[in-house]
Every structure is written in structure tokens, then in C-alpha cells.
């Protein structure tokens, strides 16, 4: 199983949002680079990074910060947030991102997703964020009348290499992820699925690790790390080499 410690960047700082709400965020003292270094020193192989400024503006506001982390720490990063054109995908590929996460732009324009998958083989991850079962887009400010399952069925053969499923109502709450819905997504998906949103404890992650036969590839862990609820060394022991 892959474990992705999360770094969300806003105003050049590490933050965590509660249920995707920009008006309810916690800002942490560590810089994104220092936090990434902490994960690297603990032995993690992968990071999940989101440019929250980019999610709001559609611009790659924190590209330089992310590039610095990739090049200086030599760690595998999946990155998302406001990536709405091929040029922006290319910019992240050029700085060495392992995966580029397409969310809002892919949901609003499935053909964009198809073209990106064709052009950037094995580099595109599909981010599906949902509230009460319906997909959420545009920095989680807009909910559209389509379920994640229905959307996925329509694009399942496009060739993305990973699906990241987040129940926004669980994100940042530490109230446990929506495993039932995530497993439903995994049953449909032609690519492996990563669990996101609501991770609270090592016990939860151990449970998720037993789901690898159900097409579950890994888990994203954010607020529980920042708040000290999860010990990094114990967490690292659960990641497969």
C-alpha cells in the first residue's frame, strides 16, 4: 500500500481545510518545504500536494515551491489544484511531478481528460471529490448534478493511472473516511483508487491496507499527522517498499 502524506499550500503556507471550506482553515507553522523534508526524513516514498491558490484561481501559484520540493528532496509527488489546460499539465511534468491530478477541468470537460491521458501516458490521476454523493468542482464551491460513479463509468477507458476519491464532508474532520463509497468507486474503476478524507488513526489505515485486493492502492493522510494523532514512524511502517 502507498501512503501519501498531504501538503496543501495556500499563501505559501501549509494549511488544512475543513470539508473543503476556505473560510474554515487551519494554518500551520511549518513551511511546505520543511513539512516535505519531515516526510522525506521519515522515509516516505510519496507525497500528495495541492495548490489551493491554484484551485481558486486556475493558475499555478505555487509551482516554484513544488518544484523546489521535487528537485531538492527527490521524492515522488502527485500534485493538483487549478490544472485546467495542457500547458499547466506540461509545466508540472517538466518539473518532475510523478502524477498530475485533474479534477474540476476533467469533470467539466471529459474530453480534456481524454486528451491529457493520451498525451501524458501514465501521468494523469483523476480526482473525484464528492459532497453527499454529487461531484464538487471549482475549489469545492460548486456541486454538479452527477455522481462520481456515473461520471467514472463514462470516462473509465480514457487511461488515467489513478483515481483519488474524496468525500468532502469527511475531509479534515478525522471522522473516518467514506470507505463504502470508495469501495464502490474501486469496483468500477479501471485504475487503482486512493482513499482520501477523514483519516483519523493508524487503525483506520491498517483496515484500508486489507482492501488492496479490492483495487485500493493507497491512502492520503493530512490533518491527523499535523495534529499529532498519527505517529509518522508507525505510519511509515505500513507503507510498502
Q: Running DSSP on this structure, what letter comes out for residue 3?
A: E
Asked whether the beta carbons of 47 and 14 are under 8 A apart, the reply is no
Asked whether the beta carbons of 39 and 5 are under 8 A apart, the reply is yes
Q: Which residues pair with 219 in a beta bridge?
A: 3, 195
**With the CA atoms of 19, 43, 99 and 32 taken in that order, what torsion angle do they form, in degrees rounded to the nearest 10?**
50
CA dihedral over 86, 15, 26, 221, signed as positive or negative? positive
Rounded-to-integer distance, Cα 42 and Cα 235, Å: 9
Asked whether the beta carbons of 3 and 218 are under 8 A apart, the reply is yes
Give CA angle at 80 (13, 213), nearest 5°.
120
Asked whether the beta carbons of 101 and 80 are under 8 A apart, the reply is yes
Catalytic residue among 8, 53, 167, 169: 8
* Catalytic residue check, 129: yes
Closest CA to 236 of 22, 6, 4, 43: 43
Catalytic residue among 53, 98, 129, 171: 129
- Positions marked catalytic: 8, 129
Amino acid at each position: 500500500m502507498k501512503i501519501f502524506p498531504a501538503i496543501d499550500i495556500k499563501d505559501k503556507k501549509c494549511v488544512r481545510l475543513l470539508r473543503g471550506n476556505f473560510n474554515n482553515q487551519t494554518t500551520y507553522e511549518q513551511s511546505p518545504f520543511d513539512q516535505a523534508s519531515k516526510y522525506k526524513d521519515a522515509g516516505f516514498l510519496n507525497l500528495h500536494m495541492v495548490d489551493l491558490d491554484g484551485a481558486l484561481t486556475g493558475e499555478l501559484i505555487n509551482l516554484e515551491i513544488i518544484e523546489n520540493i521535487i528537485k531538492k528532496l527527490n521524492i515522488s509527488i502527485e500534485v493538483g489544484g487549478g490544472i485546467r489546460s495542457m500547458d499547466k499539465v506540461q509545466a508540472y511534468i517538466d518539473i518532475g511531478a510523478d502524477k498530475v491530478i485533474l479534477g474540476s477541468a476533467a469533470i467539466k470537460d471529459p474530453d480534456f481528460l481524454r486528451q491529457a491521458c493520451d498525451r501524458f501516458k501514465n501521468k494523469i490521476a483523476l480526482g473525484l471529490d464528492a459532497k453527499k454523493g454529487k461531484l464538487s468542482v471549482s475549489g469545492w464551491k460548486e456541486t454538479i448534478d452527477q455522481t462520481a460513479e456515473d461520471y467514472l463509468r463514462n470516462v473509465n477507458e480514457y487511461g488515467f493511472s489513478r483515481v483519488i476519491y474524496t468525500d468532502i464532508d469527511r475531509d479534515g474532520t478525522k471522522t473516518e473516511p467514506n470507505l463504502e463509497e470508495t469501495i464502490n468507486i474501486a469496483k468500477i474503476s479501471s485504475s487503482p483508487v486512493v482513499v482520501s478524507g477523514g483519516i483519523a488513526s493508524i487503525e483506520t489505515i491498517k483496515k484500508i491496507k486489507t482492501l488492496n485486493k479490492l483495487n485500493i492502492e493507497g491512502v492520503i493522510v493530512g490533518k491527523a499527522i499535523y495534529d499529532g494523532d498519527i505517529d509518522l514512524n508507525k505510519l511509515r511502517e505500513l507503507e510498502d517498499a
